[in-house]
């Protein structure tokens, strides 16, 4: 499969942006600058980027509590996201939502989501709209290995098949739901087979490898876009951080994290493949690294300088219109 150079450059830049965004967010949480509950996507960058590379602005995604990577990959503005995480009124969601609720409807980002498996049913609705409008759009939902055990996820998968809606279910197996291993929480041995039993094809990829995810997601998204009903992507790749910042990670095996960082790094794997194929040079990638670092640095400076919300804003945006006599 040959991928246009433009796409390769964009994919690398996006993965690097997610990586540096998350590492900086981690540091700012430690500094006490970012409040609330934050879940980092570091390590899983290739999933979001490999999937979103096949989407345009009017396709939709719906994300999870671990949503920064999905949102960046779908085109959310980094500075607006950073401001949101800092709780600024200039943030993407005016400081109302924070990390777990980053959204940008104009960009087809129907939101990160604090409710595990809150997203898939909503994504089926977006897919159904595409089917009714016959506009060739697809709706992608991201789900963790833990969220697939929620009734809403089962219902969404079955209904997408019943409705033959262009819904794409991306299952990201990072092996854990909070502290619980997938081998405990998913009762059967084969999650791919369980998912396919709903009645749609699931394409498997190594979630550390952008090219593998790109290929699998390409098949799934084409399947849905061409009117064949839903499809799935199943990608395996561990997260580098704890479930939340400060998680003691008592569930890890000895050497697990080192192995992930060393042998399953999407950025390293991407660079190695580029070195091998010669499609992109080290110099080109280094230049992107420098630009990304500068962009993240700037986003933090902007977030620190951004306006803070005021008390009157608490009750704004609850409704579009709502009249009651006080």
Partner 1 sequence: MPEKTMRDAINEALHQAMEQDDSVFVIGEDVGGCSGSAGDVGAVGGVFGVTEGIYHRWPDRCIDTPISESAIVGAAAGAALVGMRPVAEIMFADFIGVCMDQIVNQMAKFRYMFGGKSRCPAVIRFSSGGGFSAAGQHSQAMYQVMTSFPGLKVVVPSNAYDAKGLMLSAIQDDDPVLFFEPKILYQETADVPDEMYTIPFGEANFVREGDDVTVVAFGQMVPKAAAVIDALAEEGISCDLIDPRTTSPLDENAILESVEATGRLVVVDEAPPRCGLTADIAGLAADKAFSSLKAPIKQVSAPHSPTPFSPELEAAYLPDADKITAAIKATLA
Ligand X SMILES: Cc1ncc(C[n+]2csc(CCOP(=O)(O)OP(=O)(O)O)c2C)c(N)n1
Q: Which positions lie near Mg ion, rule CB under 5 A?
A: 144-146, 174, 177
Q: How far is the CB of 45 from ligand X (least distance, A)?
A: 13
CA distance 37 to 151: 24
Q: Which residue in 47, 79, 177, 299 binds partner 1 (CB under 8 A)?
A: 177
**How many Cβ atoms sit within 10 Å of the Cβ of residue 309?**
16
Picked from Mg ion, partner 1, ligand X, none, the partner binding residue 5 (CB below 5 to 8 A depending on kind) is none
Distance CA 234, CA 170 (A): 6
Query: What minimum distance in Å lies between the beta carbon of 181 and partner 1?
Result: 3
**Cα distance between residue 192 and residue 204, in whole Å:** 8
Q: Could you say whether residue 36 binds ligand X (CB under 6 A)?
A: no
Cβ 295 vs Cβ 287: under 8 Å: no
Which of the listed partners (partner 1, Mg ion, ligand X, none) does 318 bind, with a CB threshold of 5 to 8 Å by partner kind? partner 1
The residue among 186 and 288 lying less far from Mg ion, judged by its C-beta, is: 186
120 counts as binding partner 1 under rule CB under 8 A: no
- Radius of gyration in angstroms for the set of CA atoms belonging to the chain, rounded to a whole number: 19
Residue in 251, 273, 274, 295 binding partner 1, rule: CB under 8 A: 251
Segment interacting with ligand X (CB under 6 A) among 77-85, 110-118, 215-223, 226-234: 110-118
What CA–CA distance (Å, rounded) separates 140 from 197? 19
66 contacts which partner out of ligand X, Mg ion, partner 1, none, CB within 5 to 8 A by kind? ligand X
Residue 90 or 172 with smaller CB distance to ligand X: 172
> Residues with Cβ < 8 Å from 229, sequence gap 6 or more?
160, 161, 164, 165, 166, 199, 200, 223
Q: How far apart are CA 295 and CA 1, in angstroms?
A: 31
* 152 touches partner 1 (CB under 8 A): yes
Binders of partner 1 among 22-61, rule CB under 8 A? 35-37
Contact status: 95 vs partner 1 (CB under 8 A): yes
Q: Which residue has the tokens 């016959």?
A: 134
Near ligand X by CB under 6 A, which window of 103-111, 144-152, 206-214, 253-261? 144-152
What three-state secondary structure class fits 113? coil
**C-alpha torsion angle, residues 127, 132, 133, 134 (rounded to 10):** 80
116 binds ligand X (CB under 6 A): yes
**87 is an interface residue for partner 1 by CB under 8 A:** yes
Site for partner 1 (CB under 8 A): how many residues?
Answer: 53
């Amino acid at each position: 499969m040959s991928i246009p150079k433009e796409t390769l450059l964009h994919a690398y830049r996006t993965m690097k942006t997610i990586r540096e965004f998350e590492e900086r967010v981690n540091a700012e949480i430690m500094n006490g600058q970012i409040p609330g509950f934050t879940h980092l996507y570091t390590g899983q960058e290739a999933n979001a980027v490999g999937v979103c590379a096949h989407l345009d602005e009017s396709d939709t995604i719906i994300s999870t509590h671990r949503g920064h990577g999905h949102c960046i990959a779908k085109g959310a503005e980094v500075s607006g996201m950073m401001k949101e995480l800092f709780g600024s009124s200039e943030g993407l969601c005016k400081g109302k939502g924070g990390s777990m609720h980053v959204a940008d409807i104009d960009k087809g980002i129907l939101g990160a989501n604090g409710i595990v498996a809150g997203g898939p049913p909503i994504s089926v609705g977006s897919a159904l709209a595409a089917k009714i409008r016959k506009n060739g759009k697809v709706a992608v939902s991201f789900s963790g290995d833990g969220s697939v055990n929620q009734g809403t996820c089962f219902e969404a998968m079955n209904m997408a098949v019943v409705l033959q809606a262009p819904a794409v279910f991306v299952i990201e197996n990072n092996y854990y739901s909070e502290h619980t291993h997938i081998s405990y929480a998913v009762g059967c041995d084969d999650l791919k087979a369980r998912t396919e039993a709903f009645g749609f094809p699931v394409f498997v990829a190594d979630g550390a490898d952008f090219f593998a995810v790109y290929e699998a997601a390409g098949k799934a998204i084409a399947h849905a876009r061409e009117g064949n009903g839903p499809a799935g992507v199943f990608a395996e790749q561990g997260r580098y951080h704890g479930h939340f910042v400060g998680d003691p990670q008592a569930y890890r095996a000895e050497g697990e994290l080192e192995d992930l960082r060393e042998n399953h790094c999407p950025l390293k794997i991407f660079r190695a493949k580029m070195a091998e194929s010669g499609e992109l040079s080290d110099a080109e990638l280094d230049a992107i690294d420098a630009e990304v670092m500068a962009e993240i640095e700037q986003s933090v400076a902007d977030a620190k300088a951004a306006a803070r919300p005021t008390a009157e804003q608490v009750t704004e945006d609850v409704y579009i219109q709502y009249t009651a006599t006080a």
